[in-house]
Each structure stands twice: as structure tokens, then as C-alpha cells.
Amino acid sequence: MRAVVQRVTRASVTVEDKIISKINLGLLILLGIETEDTQEDIEWLSRKIANLRIFNDEAGVMNKSLLDVNGDAIVVSQFTLHAATKKGNRPSYIKAARPEVAIPLYEQFIQQIESDVNKKVGTGVFGADMKVDLLNDGPVTILIDTKNKE
């Protein structure tokens, strides 16, 4: 499971010209799911994101988590995070989970992060053509991969 986590001052997701999720201060989480991902990946990644200290404290140091700042979150599925670009110029998405595997894991991740941050999170629509608008704060953008825990 891979996530691109972006600290934002605002973010929204639009599907078919309708805004379906909108937040102010918080995190935009782009989530890529592999066939091999498990509940353990979901729990580890959700806990890591909820507690990631990437918001500024009173001294301007990144020392506060989403929980500390009572921020909001949007989770958007993005299979392209598993693009393999080693050969040729057309990315391969063979490692990305098919919808029958990915959708339940995506839904489980949403439930887990809502539990970990004690609030509802916004979402995209799995498989839809989405327009994601954001104002990245910092910019702060972090890649987290449950198969490569750095």
C-alpha cells in the first residue's frame, strides 16, 4: 500500500462537476493499493498518517500531527501510484490491485483512518474521473510505502 500525503490548507474532490469532498487545514491522502496488501498494511499506514508530525507548532517547527491540530482529511484512491516505469515509456499498472480486491481494502482503510483520527474523512469515488484541487501547504508532500518502511 502506498500513500502520497500532502499537508494542505484546503482541498476538494469534484466528480461530474459536483464537489463531493472539501476540507480546510488537513491532509490529502492519495492511496494506491496492491493485491498483496492486508489488514496489517491498513492499520500500520493509517496509524502512521494520523500521527505523522508534519504540522507546525507555535515555534514554526513541524512537530504536530493531524490529531494535534484537529485537522481534516480526504482519501482518494489512485492506482497510478503503483506505476512501473522501468521499461519503455508507457507505465505498467500490473502491481495495482483490481477493483474486486482494491475496493474492499480502500473502504477498510477509510474506516480505519476515521477510527484513528476520531472523525469522518472525505473521500473520492473509486474508479471515477476525479478532479482534485488543493493548496499544498509548505509544500509538504510525503510518500509512504508499507512494503518499504523507511
Q: Indicate which residues carry an active-site annotation.
A: 78-80
Count of CB atoms within 10 A of residue 96's CB?
22
Q: Is 127 left (phi over 0), alpha (psi -120 to 50) or beta?
A: left
Residue whose grid cell is 469522518: 120
